[in-house]
Amino acid sequence: MTVIEKIIALHSKKEKVEAGEIVNVEIDARVARDFGGANVVKHIEENGLEIDDPSKTFFTFDCNPTGSDQKYAENQHKCRLFARKRGIKVYDINAGIGTHLAIEKGLAYPSSTFVSTDSHANILGAIGAFGQGMGDIDIAAAFTSGKVWFKIPKSIKITLKGMPEKEVEPKDIALLLLKHYGANGLLGLSAEVYGDYVDRLSLAGRITISSMATEMGAIILFFPPNEEIISYCRERALKKDFEPAYADENASYHFTDVIDISRAEPMISRPGHPEDAVCLSEVRGTKVDSVFIGSCTNGRIEDLRKTATILKNRKVAEGVVLKIVPSTDEVWKKAMDEGLFKIFKDAGALISNAGCGGCAAGQVGQNGPNEVTVSTGNRNFLGKQGKGYVYLASPGVAAASAVAGFITDPSNIDKKIEFKVIPPTSEKKSEEKKEFVKIKSKQMKIKGRVWVIKKDNIDTDMIFHNKHLAITKIEEMGQYTFGNLNGYEDFPERAKEGDIIVTSQNFGAGSSRQQAVDCFKALKIGAIVAKSFGAIYERNAINSGFPVVISDLIDKGIKDGEMIEIDFEKGEIKRENGEIVKSEKWSEIQKKIYLKGGLLESGS
């Protein structure tokens, strides 16, 4: 078996499992964040459910650790009260990023299972653990049953050949992989990463690369734990007698890949698409307004030390703002004890308390309209980190760019260069509030008018922007649907009950936010038909009883406004001209959840 098959077999009490099999998986650590946590609480309380095992159940408040948003503060308080009554541990606003705390505090360890409302929970692949980001319905089910259903993905094997030059950081390797695979090249797959470089890679480096699995569409990127990682985890793990899981020599892989990294260069992702990664030399000289160093990808102490070596005895360029956010309180304290904060402050940087930083709306790291930011985060979707342009880069490149005032690398930090200027963005339409109603449908055959959206990789920020994440009432969500998708900002006003969206590959890429599904339910949309869906998005839709259908219908010349009929039972789509287009048949679990109205519903 592969790594993921071994871990799933262990936690489903089976001797052997195979790709494509659907099993119930026992979860060792079940986590809800301040993002999604209040909805988890709501689902549990509305359905009269109880907590399976409080010792394995946690809250982590990392999206808005400053409590600067009234709605977030309200939701955090709801979670605290819920946790207090049930003896659940809360890692509060002073603790840091939940996935990093899982490693530091020993909630996760090699071969363990971990789920969270964080779409980057697959960071746990860095220590050889199974981590998954899931929606609030899934997490509510994990809180109350201790298990989740899971379809075992196909596995691939990636070998990184050779060793990169010294100036190439793990973030550069992550961006190189993104360039190689694109936003959906690993869609729905589990990947194992091997090679001499991997064997020598630190925990921080493994976290950096694992954290970008979601941006490649992967379920998870596994790094087989070496002795250093195992020793680190044994010191901290809640369960000391764990046994790491390694793939068998005769494990079967969907495909294997060898990627030569010996000639790797410093990389950077251009605004809007993490996978649009290019050699830094292609954009060197682009004027920079702000720099963000932090996030679950690059907020470790090693990242801050790298930043300090560049900032020492230097100043941030005039007119440039540098924001630094450590990943956890432990990292924060180490940075303070080592004198890194003095270096940062002397250079002119702003230092925040530990947390997610710019990935969450309203937090440190956001930018304004047309502002150019270099960020060490893992996403740069338009609107994700503010209204400006975000380039993704390593801590070294980010720090060097802050000092130079333009995009550059540490070896060219003192060279003068002529600035490049990028064009301004178009203004978004103003938002208007409108009331919508939640519906349930149990028909196995539906008809509807088609909306054709010919775009790949429509992400959850395009579907439901992160500035609205604190909304918990489904009837309030519809008005914000596609509010960040260019050309479809007026979708809520134009959509009619029963309409069907037909789109392309990797619909719902990105975050684990349930609202990106529920907004369509609020508008009474009949179904979404896509060539493929983001893995978390597909789970969230299935678990909420919303129809998602996999088909290449968009390639068949389908037009806006055409009426179609979808037969979920047969896996068929009938067009107006009588043509029958095949769709992927629903699994029994998808059908069962849909018919009872959702995973947590009692059904009829």
Residue 479: is it exposed, middle or buried by C-beta count within 10 angstroms (0-12/13-18/19+)? buried
Q: What is the tens place of the pLDDT at every residue in 553-571?
A: 999 999 999 999 999 999 9
Task: List, as one string, the DSSP characters of 396-441.
Answer: HHHHHHHHHSBS--GGGTT---PPB-PPPPPPPPPP----------
Per-residue tokens: 356: 């997610």
Residue 433's pLDDT is 38
For the chain, what's the residue count?
Answer: 604
> Which amino acid type is present at position 24?
N
Residue with tokens 């094997």, as numbered in its chain: 157
Q: Calculate mean pLDDT across residues 317-336.
A: 97
Measured between alpha carbons, how far is 440 from 597 in angstroms, rounded to an integer? 6
- The pLDDT assigned to 429 comes to 38
Q: What is the pLDDT of residue 362?
A: 64
Domain 3-260 has CATH 3.30.499.10: yes
- Mean pLDDT confidence for 399-415: 93
Mean pLDDT rounded to a whole number for the chain: 92
Share of the chain above pLDDT 70, in %: 95
Calpha distance 281→412 (Å, rounded)? 11
pLDDT of residue 512: 87
Percent of the chain with pLDDT over 90: 84
Q: Does domain 445-596 have CATH number 3.20.19.10?
A: yes
- Over residues 333-371, the pLDDT tens digits come to 999 999 999 999 999 999 999 998 888 766 788 888 999
Mean pLDDT of 309-330: 97
Contact 226, 214 (CB under 8 A): no
- On the question of a common fold for 267-412 and 445-596, the answer reads no
Give mean pLDDT, residues 526-537.
96
Whole-number Å distance between alpha carbons of 371 and 421:
11
Sign, CA dihedral 256-253-111-90, equals positive
Output the pLDDT for position 67.
67
User: Which of these CATH numbers, 3.40.50.300, 2.60.120.330, 3.30.499.10, 3.40.30.10, describes 267-412?
Assistant: 3.30.499.10
In whole angstroms, what is the distance from residue 413 CA to residue 400 CA? Answer: 6
How many other CB atoms are found less than 10 A from the CB of residue 262?
A: 12
HSE value, Cβ hemisphere, 13 Å, CA-based, for 371? 20
β-sheet bridge partners, residue 449: 563
Q: Which helix (H) or strand (E) holds 100?
A: helix 98-104
- Distances in Å between the Cα of 265 and the Cα atoms of 37, 276, 540, 592 are 40, 15, 38, 50
CB-based contacts of 297, cutoff 8 Å, min separation 6: 171, 174, 207, 208, 211, 212, 376, 377, 378
Q: What is the mean pLDDT of residues 245-272?
A: 96
Q: Is the pLDDT of residue 425 over 90?
A: no
Between 425 and 336, name the one with better pLDDT.
336
pLDDT (tens digit, 9 = 90+) per residue, 273-295?
999 999 999 999 999 999 999 99
pLDDT, position 387:
86
Task: Summarize pLDDT for 102-118 with one digit per residue, the tens.
Answer: 999 999 999 999 999 99
Residue ranges covered by each domain of the chain: 3-260, 267-412, 445-596
Q: For residue 148, what pLDDT is reported?
A: 96
CA separation, residue 313 to residues 215, 308, 348, 397, 399 (Å)? 36, 9, 11, 17, 13
- Residues 574-596 have pLDDT tens digits of 999 999 999 999 999 999 999 99
Compute the C-alpha angle 566/570/572, nearest 5°.
Answer: 40
Residue found under tokens 């432990």: 330
pTM for this structure? 0.85
- Is the pLDDT confidence value at 432 over 60? no
Dist. CA 330–CA 134, nearest whole Å: 26
What integer pLDDT is reported at residue 423 of this predicted model? 52
Q: How remote is the C-alpha of 165 from its chain's centroid?
A: 29
Question: How confident is the model at residue 467, as a pLDDT?
Answer: 83
220-236 average pLDDT score: 97
Whether the predicted pLDDT of 428 surpasses 70: no
Query: What is the rounded CA–CA span in Å between residue 451 and residue 441?
Result: 20
Sign of the alpha-carbon dihedral angle for 458, 459, 463, 465: negative
For 436, the token pair is 């919508």
